Structure 1
Amino acid sequence: MKWMFGLAALALCACNPSQPAAEAAPETPIASSPIQRCMNLGNALDSPRREGEWGYTIRRADMQRLKDAGFDTVRLPIRWSTRVGHTAPYTIDPDFLSRVDEVVRWGGEIGLNVIINVHHYEELSERPDLHETRLEGIWDQLAYHYANAPDFLIFEVVNEPYDAMTVKRTDALNQRVLARIRQDNPDRWVILATANWGNLDGLLKSKPVYDPRAILTYHDYDPFEFTHQGAFWAEPVRPMGVYWGDREDYVRLAKGLDRALAFQDKHRMPVFIGEFGVYERVPMDLRAKWIRALREGAETRGMGWCHWDWGTTLKSYDLEQEEWLPEIKAALLD
């Protein structure tokens, strides 16, 4: 069954397919990305078994708070791999899909863009020979299901492939999945995957095929020993006490952004920082300093961004007190 969003769903019916080319001509205009200021609603739909087991369940009120604050997009990390069959056609759990529909609909009603991705698909990176077809089956279903959804819905192929999902293999997967998506969604914005855990190095080594409605992405947690100091899930656990804010730190940050911008200019597709943030145990002044520097640097270069995260381990909002962390909010928006 195809998802419907009132009469607006009819708007896409007359679109002509976009035809990707191997490379864009140097004079090709870079399309304006719909994503400028975005928040990740993580540790909810990407939990292993049920939403809420990692401490957060997405609420419509949270999306409204983000819209009211000035955000234009939310990114929904989604773990489909534990909610689909293991044999073809890899059927998605209808109850879980219905919940995703609900959250997507909230975003549209509030006036936010909504990114849905494939998150935490570790098996894909460990044994791609066994799981690439399954990922393609997931996207076949999602592309058909959301074919009539308005333009506010954005697809992201897969989050942070690593190990056996090399740059070359990720590039090939992007092309195959994008071609399948385009059969039902000829003009939908699609964010392409980046290998090497989604980092800048993975982006710069990639060879993306040009598509006028594709967005390139990378995640920026550099330097990792600063942003993830003390993080219990980052093995080995990095020691606390790492400082950030010297002149050399700002220069390093700017160089990374400049390299991403040069890649955007070369490939004529917008680049989007899909994740960035600092672990909550890092002193607040240092968290805010790094977040502000990266956010302002991205905006100065015309690049959209998406902060990780809303209410959990790299949070910008206190779920217990039901209030923004003022320093983080200011770093993101002021």
Structure 2
Amino acid sequence: MKRRNFIRTTGVAAAGTGLAGSITAGNFLGSTKNKLPRWKGFNLLDYFSPFKGVPNYVTTDDDLKWMADWGFDFVRLPMAYPRYVKHTPFKNITPDNVLNFDENELDKIQQLVERANKYGLHMSLNLHRAPGFCVNAGFYEPYNLWQDEEAQDAFYQHWSMWAKRFSHLSPKQISFDLVNEPCTREDMNDQFSQRGSIPGELYRAVAKKAMETIRKHNPDHLVIADGNNVGADVIPEIFDLNIGQSCRGYFPHYVSHYRASWVWKNPEDAPKPVWPGEIDGQHFSRKNLEEFYAPWIDAVKKGVGVHCGECGCYRETPHEVFLAWFGDVLDVLTQYGIGYALWNFRGDFGIMDSGRKDVEYEDWHGHKLDRKLLQLLQKYK
């Protein structure tokens, strides 16, 4: 990643948008000011990859049962839309493909939602790769969600399809997270290109239209918008809309994404993280976290619904540094009723099979369980 972009990203404050007015989900927390529930859980990566026919994560019933047994109540499903449309694998997708829904794949996703609900887990559906946009880039899109009306129309049709399919579910069972970490890019196909904020009025227009499309099928459907500028910024332009917002638990990236290949062009150049302490000439501590989350907290105090849809540390971060930092993150969020979803359950950020080299894993039904991380999460359940 270009150094100037990385430093800018690690230093930007984050904030959430609100659930202005009445919404069913706003009653879940009783006297808590946050209008969104303090959901606690994980991201599921079953549909994260855009490529069919390659090894992918598969969520098992055991996974869901363990989550529920350990006190968690939330899962988020970041989806790449090419996984559930018919097109020629490993070839550039075209506008003709984008709305060619694969009913077999749609049924599988619905079954995953139903399985999660069976174990008492709220499911958040998210378009991680939407028609015309993905924060990761690195592949061809036939248009740009933030510039082209055709892409926006396709985006709304995807959400209309999902909202109709789940029109029978309540806000306790499902929510709709519009698009993962919106941002602009100098080059839509280059994951390391300069990124910035979507103009607020443009983001408002797209989010508002998507919300209205979704609620045509069920007026109680719960809609979430990720923070602007890769999830980092408040979106005051939608404070008056009946939409919640999702923040991130990755500040500073020096800690959360140490040696991550999609952040660093040369991972070996990443400065070794500490917590608290100095990294790359900057001092970081709990005070910095409190400053970083201050806009989110201010939003909650104003009646905004906020949830942290992604958080955690890549496996290369020293485990004790991770736990010290993450304990502070969770403590700050919890004070204001903001829940969290670790990225992920099993895998590089997860509580099982993370591949960390400095963890004394516990054998758990053939998996490697990070008991210390689980205990930290349970402390804030």
Provide the TM-score with structure 2 as the length reference.
Answer: 0.73
Aligned equivalents of 2:219 and 2:54: distance in 1? 34
Task: Confirm or deny: 8 A CA contact 2:44 2:59 kept in the other structure.
Answer: yes
Aligned equivalents of 1:91 and 1:35: distance in 2? 36
Task: Confirm or deny: 8 A CA contact 1:107 1:114 kept in the other structure.
Answer: yes
Instruction: Give the aligned partner of residue 79 of structure 2.
Output: 78
2:258 corresponds to which of 229, 238, 242 = 229
Secondary structure of the residue aligned to 1:107 is helix
Q: What displacement does 1:310 show?
A: 1.1
Corresponding position: 1:182 with 2:215: yes
Instruction: Give the aligned partner of residue 13 of structure 1.
Output: none
> Deviations for 1:201-236, whole angstroms, at most 9, x for unmatched residues?
x2x244114345x32111131111221111122242
Instruction: Give the aligned partner of residue 244 of structure 1.
Output: 275
Aligned equivalents of 2:97 and 2:53: distance in 1? 25
Instruction: Give the aligned partner of residue 338 of structure 2.
Output: 303
Instruction: Give the aligned partner of residue 108 of structure 1.
Output: 117
Q: What displacement does 1:58 show?
A: 1.3
Instruction: Give the aligned partner of residue 172 of structure 1.
Output: 205
Task: Confirm or deny: 8 A CA contact 2:82 2:98 kept in the other structure.
Answer: no
Instruction: Give the aligned partner of residue 313 of structure 1.
Output: 348
Aligned equivalents of 2:349 and 2:271: distance in 1? 15
2:164 corresponds to which of 130, 135, 144 = 144
Task: Confirm or deny: 8 A CA contact 1:218 1:273 kept in the other structure.
Answer: yes
Q: Which has the higher contact order (CA 8 A, sep 6+)?
A: 2
Corresponding position: 1:277 with 2:305: no
Q: Which moved more, 1:248-257 or 1:176-185?
A: 248-257
Could you tell me which amino acid in structure 2 is paired with residue 260 of structure 1? W
Aligned equivalents of 1:230 and 1:319: distance in 2? 15
Aligned-residue sequence identity (percent) comes to 20
Instruction: Give the aligned partner of residue 208 of structure 1.
Output: 238
Secondary structure of the residue aligned to 1:78 is strand
Q: What displacement does 1:23 show?
A: 6.3
Secondary structure of the residue aligned to 1:161 is coil
Change (3 A) 1:121 1:183: closer
Task: Confirm or deny: 8 A CA contact 1:289 1:331 kept in the other structure.
Answer: no
> Deviations for 1:168-225, whole angstroms, at most 9, x for unmatched residues?
22222111100111111211221123221112xx2x244114345x321111311112
Q: What displacement does 1:24 show?
A: 5.7
Aligned equivalents of 1:282 and 1:193: distance in 2? 25
Task: Confirm or deny: 8 A CA contact 2:342 2:349 kept in the other structure.
Answer: no
Provide the TM-score with structure 1 as the length reference.
Answer: 0.82
Aligned equivalents of 1:185 and 1:107: distance in 2? 20
Aligned equivalents of 1:249 and 1:90: distance in 2? 47
- Computed over aligned residues only, the root mean square deviation of the Cα atoms, in angstroms, reads 2.7
Task: Confirm or deny: 8 A CA contact 2:177 2:224 kept in the other structure.
Answer: yes
Could you tell me which amino acid in structure 2 is paired with residue 132 of structure 1? Q
Change (3 A) 1:146 1:122: closer
Task: Confirm or deny: 8 A CA contact 1:91 1:138 kept in the other structure.
Answer: no
Aligned equivalents of 2:40 and 2:298: distance in 1? 21
Change (3 A) 1:325 1:134: same
Task: Confirm or deny: 8 A CA contact 2:77 2:123 kept in the other structure.
Answer: yes
Change (3 A) 1:37 1:23: closer
Task: Give the number of equivalent residue pairs.
Answer: 304
Task: Confirm or deny: 8 A CA contact 1:157 1:190 kept in the other structure.
Answer: yes
The structure carrying a bigger helix percent of its residues is 1
Task: Confirm or deny: 8 A CA contact 2:77 2:125 kept in the other structure.
Answer: yes
Could you tell me which amino acid in structure 2 is paired with residue 73 of structure 1? F
The structure carrying a bigger strand percent of its residues is 2
Aligned equivalents of 1:260 and 1:193: distance in 2? 12
Instruction: Give the aligned partner of residue 18 of structure 1.
Output: none
1:127 corresponds to which of 128, 144, 160 = 144
* 5+ long unaligned stretches in structure 1: 1-20
Could you tell me which amino acid in structure 2 is paired with residue 306 of structure 1? A
Q: Which moved more, 1:277-286 or 1:311-320?
A: 311-320
1:39 corresponds to which of 39, 42, 60 = 42
Q: What displacement does 1:107 show?
A: 0.9
Instruction: Give the aligned partner of residue 11 of structure 2.
Output: none
Aligned equivalents of 1:136 and 1:84: distance in 2? 15
Task: Confirm or deny: 8 A CA contact 2:43 2:77 kept in the other structure.
Answer: yes
Aligned equivalents of 1:146 and 1:23: distance in 2? 23
Instruction: Give the aligned partner of residue 322 of structure 1.
Output: 367
Change (3 A) 1:205 1:106: closer
Could you tell me which amino acid in structure 2 is paired with residue 208 of structure 1? I
Could you tell me which amino acid in structure 1 is paired with residue 178 of structure 2? V
Could you tell me which amino acid in structure 1 is paired with residue 42 of structure 2? M
Q: What displacement does 1:137 show?
A: 1.0
Aligned equivalents of 1:51 and 1:209: distance in 2? 41
Change (3 A) 1:110 1:161: same
> Deviations for 1:230-261, whole angstroms, at most 9, x for unmatched residues?
11222424415221224841100112222211
Aligned equivalents of 1:265 and 1:224: distance in 2? 27
Aligned equivalents of 1:51 and 1:89: distance in 2? 18
Task: Confirm or deny: 8 A CA contact 2:34 2:300 kept in the other structure.
Answer: no
Q: What displacement does 1:35 show?
A: 4.1
Aligned equivalents of 1:254 and 1:331: distance in 2? 19
